[in-house]
Structure 1
Amino acid sequence: MNLSDANKDAAKKQKVLASINLVYQALKEKGYDPINQLVEYILSDDPTYITSYNGARKEINSIDRFDLLHVIFSDYFDKK
């Protein structure tokens, strides 16, 4: 992997993490359990688990679920 690819991957990871944070905050503000809602969304691919508040549903739908899981796992294990 060259430096350009590494920069693209880092930028993509940051975008996905920012999107997850936006969705998490929107769910929390609306009184939902954000972790449960995100897990149900990932397992079912049903966007109604994500509130439309603050554009959260549109944001999460803009991310491929594989990419979403990839970033979540890589971020978790990178911190270990």
Structure 2
Amino acid sequence: MSLDKTIQFNVSELKSDDTREILHSVYHTLENKNYDAIEQIMGYLLSGDPAYIPRHNDARNLIRRINRDEIIKELLRVYLQGE
């Protein structure tokens, strides 16, 4: 690593990675509990009511760490950019 170059730190990439990891974890928890994961996450995103997400595997606390707007932003980014 050169000392002459400035490295840029991108907070939005870290947020994106955290959001993606948490969504995957919550999604798998919902599926393991035999819920329709998409419907449950959608219910949470639309209402803000954490009761749509089970406490199992700490999923409810995990998803509440991220602002719902950030989750929607990440979902749109992945959908529209095809990532």
The normalised TM-score by structure 2 is: 0.86
The alignment partner of 1:51 has SS state of coil
Runs of 4+ in 1 over 3 A off after TM superposition: none
Query: In proportion to residue count, which structure has more helix?
Result: 1
The normalised TM-score by structure 1 is: 0.89
Q: CA deviation at 1:77?
A: 1.3
How many pairs align? 77
**Aligned residue for 1:30?**
33
Task: Structure 2: state its 5+ residue gaps.
Answer: 1-7
- Identity among equivalent pairs (%): 32
Instruction: Work out whether 1:9 is the aligned partner of 2:17.
Output: no
Instruction: Work out whether 1:69 is the aligned partner of 2:72.
Output: yes
CA root-mean-square deviation: 1.5
Task: Structure 1: state its 5+ residue gaps.
Answer: none
Q: Match for 1:78: what amino acid?
A: Q
